[in-house]
């Protein structure tokens, strides 16, 4: 049995107009099945349904199919990305692409169910949010759950480290991500491997996916290391933190200091998930003994490499940031990582937000600057039992409050936030209301209240932040 095809073009030759295609990887330039994506672009099949985390925004990701007007349906965790306009957003907004927003963990579970012949699953993810529209809700115990139906596709494109001629697959480090689930859920799964070997050359207990799930294998013709060299400075710019917001002649904490203050909420033994933006910076200030959990499937990772250091192309986190390993680091799939979060294994989740309500409702899915929503894994992360801490600037750049009585943007989670740390204040969400616990240096409770919509309860132990 030899499942190896001579070229990416040969491997996609029978993909017709109207086909559904799962795209593996997170959508980043160095972890996409680029050879297969480019071959499908060149073939020109139209009216495709793409199922993925995100089509991305680089020429090495599935967005090239969108730009080529080959996609009319998209099922993904991201339709838009804050502060990064794309052709995907434009086409969704124009009604050219039918878009369904699916949280990352739910996406994995729906594809797992489809692969296993299960009709659907009940999940707490998304209850009370934009994704529950039109779905059955059921209460188990004292908690509501959504019915999510199974999902499958005609084809799947899966990037891999190695594959053998029988279709057995090995992923490497963060290269697991969505791929062990995605590869199982298509009628025809095509693996794009960096290295193709003969059957028997892979150690049997090192195989991540059995060849029973893989129909075609092709050797990648794409140079990931070239993409890495281009992506690294782009990523560094994307993760740069801006200057503090000026409010008259006063400023609050810098974003780095917000992250530093958040780190003081952590203790040895905690497992902590950090979101994109300011939360990512918390990793620079972790107390000894705190372990990081990333939904992409890296656990207890080391710090980011120094700018002058080389990076391991397969070691990165949920924000696509390069990371290092240390004694105790391990890797798993997104499916397992989200199970850890929903199942209560993660103690603390630290996220950014567009808005937070006094009741602890969270909105970080969409803002008016975005043409389409993007949720990533946030809905799954706040659906578990973890303490949720929000890091953000207290106001918009034009000094409109972001801490509100009620969120005006679509919700990510209902009454899920425990603590809010901004550039001006530390506030605790309680049944009685929002309690002001700490003020930024140089700011009074009265000044903070003037920039906060709900009435703040002043803690009898109110103090200035210690940094």
Give catalytic residues, as residue numbers.
Answer: 295
CA distance to 56, 321, 404, 465, per residue, from 53 (Å): 9, 17, 30, 38
CB–CB of 418/389 below 8 Å?
A: yes
Per the structure block, which two tokens stand in for 141? 């115990």
Give the max Cα distance, the chain.
74
Residue-wise DSSP of 19-32: -EEEE-S-S-TTSS
CB–CB of 330/262 below 8 Å?
A: no
End-to-end CA distance of the chain: 63
Alpha-carbon span 40 to 55, nearest angstrom:
14
What are the residues facing 362 on neighbouring strands? 356, 413
Alpha-carbon span 353 to 369, nearest angstrom:
14
Strands 419-422 and 186-197: unpaired
Alpha-carbon span 350 to 366, nearest angstrom:
18
Burial 172-211 (b: 16+ CB within 10 A, else e): bbbbbbbbbbbbbbbebbbbbbbebeeeeebeeeebbbeb
Handedness of CA 321, 327, 333, 338 (dihedral sign): negative
Alpha-carbon span 85 to 96, nearest angstrom:
16
Dihedral, 291, 292, 295, 298 alpha carbons, nearest 10: -80
Residue 398's closest CA among 369, 428, 378?
A: 369
CB–CB of 415/360 below 8 Å?
A: yes
Residue-wise DSSP of 288-333: TT-EEEETTTEES--PPPPTTS---TT-B-TTS-B----TT-EE-B
Q: Which residues contact 213 (CB under 8 A, 6 or more apart)?
A: 115, 167, 183, 184, 189
């Amino acid at each position: 049995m030899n499942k190896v095809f001579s070229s990416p073009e040969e491997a996609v030759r029978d993909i017709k107009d109207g086909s559904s295609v799962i795209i593996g990887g997170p959508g980043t330039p160095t972890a996409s099945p680029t050879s297969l994506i480019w071959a499908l672009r060149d073939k020109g099949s139209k009216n495709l349904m793409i199922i993925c985390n995100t089509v991305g925004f680089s020429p090495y990701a599935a967005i090239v199919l969108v730009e080529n007007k080959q996609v009319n349906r998209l099922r993904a965790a991201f339709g838009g990305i804050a502060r990064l306009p794309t052709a995907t957003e434009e086409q969704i907004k124009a009604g050219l692409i039918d878009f369904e927003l699916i949280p990352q963990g739910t996406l994995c579970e729906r594809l797992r169910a489809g692969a296993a012949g299960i009709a659907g699953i009940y999940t707490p993810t998304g209850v009370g949010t934009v994704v529950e529209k039109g779905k059955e809700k059921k209460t188990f115990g004292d908690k509501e759950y959504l019915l999510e139906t199974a999902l499958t596709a005609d084809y799947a494109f899966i990037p891999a480290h190695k594959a053998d001629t029988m279709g057995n697959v090995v992923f490497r480090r963060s290269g697991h991500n969505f791929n062990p689930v995605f590869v199982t859920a298509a009628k025809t799964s095509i693996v794009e491997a960096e290295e193709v070997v003969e059957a028997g050359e892979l150690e049997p207990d090192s195989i991540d996916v059995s060849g029973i799930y893989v129909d075609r294998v092709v050797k990648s013709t794409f140079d990931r290391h070239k993409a890495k060299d281009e992506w690294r400075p782009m990523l560094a710019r994307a993760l740069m933190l801006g200057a503090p917001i000026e409010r008259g002649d006063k400023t609050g904490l810098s974003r780095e200091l917000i992250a530093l203050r958040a780190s003081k909420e952590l203790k040895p033994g905690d497992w902590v998930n950090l979101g994109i933006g300011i939360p990512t910076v918390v990793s620079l200030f972790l107390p000894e003994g705190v372990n990081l959990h990333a939904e992409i499937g890296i656990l207890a990772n080391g710090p980011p490499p120094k700018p002058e250091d080389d990076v391991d192309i397969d070691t990165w986190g949920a924000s696509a940031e390069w990371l290092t390993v240390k004694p105790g680091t391990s890797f798993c799939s997104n499916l397992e990582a989200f199970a850890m979060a929903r199942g209560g294994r993660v103690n603390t989740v630290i996220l950014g937000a567009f808005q937070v309500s006094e009741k602890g409702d969270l909105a970080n899915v969409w803002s008016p600057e975005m043409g389409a929503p993007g949720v990533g894994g946030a809905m799954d992360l706040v659906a578990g039992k973890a303490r949720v801490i929000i890091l953000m600037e207290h106001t918009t750049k034009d000094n409109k409050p972001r801490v509100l009585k009620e969120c005006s943007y679509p919700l990510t989670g209902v009454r899920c936030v425990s603590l809010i740390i901004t550039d001006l204040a530390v506030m605790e969400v309680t049944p009685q209301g929002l309690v002001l616990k700490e003020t930024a240096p140089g700011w009074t409770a009265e000044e903070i209240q003037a920039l906060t919509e709900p009435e703040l309860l002043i803690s009898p132990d109110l103090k200035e932040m210690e940094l």
